[in-house]
């Protein structure tokens, strides 16, 4: 069965600090897909990134970067120079090629960025 | 932009009531999902549907049923609401493909008293 673990329940940083959110996954499938979502206080989940299991290239998008390492089954998310607007709950999710179509989510990490 | 709309943002219902949560998407997505979000537990899948009139149980289907009579609409039904069903309910939809992200509605916070 697939499983996603986000061990950090809550992180608090001061603005301009860098912060990394950890995500560890379990799957038996050789082809799978990983996602990150952001849930701001308004409640709606916002898609940030997806990555398939054959693409281990790290990705950078502005202040956001993602580090995918199959060897450690991790897909970590780093925010550089954090801002107050980054305060949200962040979810990591997984889907399998041969499994059900729905995403399996981790328990989420609440990030608070203090001014 | 993809739009997933849930009929209510907040609902308060009494124990034993039959509750309907409605979700509509406007992007002709094949797949639709209902998740429940609770603190410390993340999002847990209740039911999903990959076609009209098709449905599959998720991880926590007990106490819930669903209906999908039209492609754009997916309803979650609490047959007899109980206090342990107080939660945030999130609807999502996606294209039917291996590598597609899901788009979420704004959520319905249901309180059962």
CB atoms A43 and B42 under 8 Å = no
Confidence category of residue B101, pLDDT binned at 50, 70, 90: confident
Q: How far apart are CA A61 and CA A34, in angstroms?
A: 16
Confidence category of residue B11, pLDDT binned at 50, 70, 90: very high
To the nearest whole angstrom, how far is the Cα of A29 from the nearest Cα of chain B?
A: 13
Q: What share of chain A is helix, strand, coil (3-state, %, to 5)?
A: 5, 55, 40
Across B78-92, average pLDDT: 97
Tokens of A64: 């956001």
Note down pLDDT in tens along chain A; length 115 residues.
Answer: 789 999 999 999 999 999 999 999 999 998 999 999 999 998 889 999 999 898 888 888 899 999 999 999 999 999 999 999 999 999 999 998 877 778 999 999 999 999 9
Sign of the dihedral through C-alpha B5, B75, B97, A62:
positive
Q: How far apart are CA A61 and CA B15, in angstroms?
A: 47
Instruction: Indicate the range of B2-6, B49-53, B65-69, B98-102 predicted with least confidence.
Output: B98-102
- Closest Cβ–Cβ partner in A4, A33, A45 for B104: A45
CB atoms A9 and B50 under 8 Å = no
Reported as a single tens digit per residue, the pLDDT across B36-70 is 999 989 999 999 999 998 999 999 999 999 999 99
Confidence category of residue B2, pLDDT binned at 50, 70, 90: low
Quick one: closest CA in B to A106, which residue? Answer: B42
Query: Hey, is the C-beta of A103 within 8 angstroms of any chain B C-beta?
Result: yes
- Closest Cβ–Cβ partner in A35, A37, A101 for B48: A101
Q: What is the mean pLDDT of chain B?
A: 94
Query: Hey, is the C-beta of B75 within 8 angstroms of any chain A C-beta?
Result: no
Query: Hey, is the C-beta of A10 within 8 angstroms of any chain B C-beta?
Result: no
Count CB atoms within 10 A of the CB of residue A16: 11
CB atoms B42 and A52 under 8 Å = no
| Residues in chain A within 8 Å Cβ distance of B50 | 101
Pairing mode, strands B10-13 and B108-112: parallel
């Amino acid at each position: 069965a697939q499983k996603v673990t986000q061990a950090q329940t809550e992180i608090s940083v001061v603005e301009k600090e860098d912060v990394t959110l950890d995500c560890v996954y379990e799957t038996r499938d050789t082809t799978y897909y990983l996602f990150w979502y952001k849930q701001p206080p308004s409640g709606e989940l916002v898609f940030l990134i997806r990555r398939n299991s054959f693409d281990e290239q790290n990705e950078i998008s502005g202040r956001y970067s993602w580090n995918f390492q199959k060897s450690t089954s991790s897909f970590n998310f780093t925010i550089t120079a954090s801002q107050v607007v980054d305060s949200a709950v962040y979810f990591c999710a997984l889907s399998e090629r041969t499994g059900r179509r729905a995403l399996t989510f981790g328990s989420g990490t609440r990030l608070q960025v203090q001014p | 932009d993809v739009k997933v709309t849930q009929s209510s943002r907040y609902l308060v219902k009494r124990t034993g009531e039959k509750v309907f949560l409605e979700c509509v998407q406007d992007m002709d997505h094949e797949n639709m999902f209902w998740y429940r979000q609770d603190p410390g537990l993340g999002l847990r899948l209740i039911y999903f549907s990959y076609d009209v009139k098709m449905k599959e149980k998720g991880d926590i289907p007990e106490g819930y049923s669903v209906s999908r009579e039209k492609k754009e609409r997916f309803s979650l039904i609490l047959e007899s609401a109980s206090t342990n069903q107080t939660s945030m309910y999130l609807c999502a939809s996606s294209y039917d493909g291996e590598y597609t992200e899901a788009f979420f509605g704004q959520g319905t916070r249901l309180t059962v008293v």
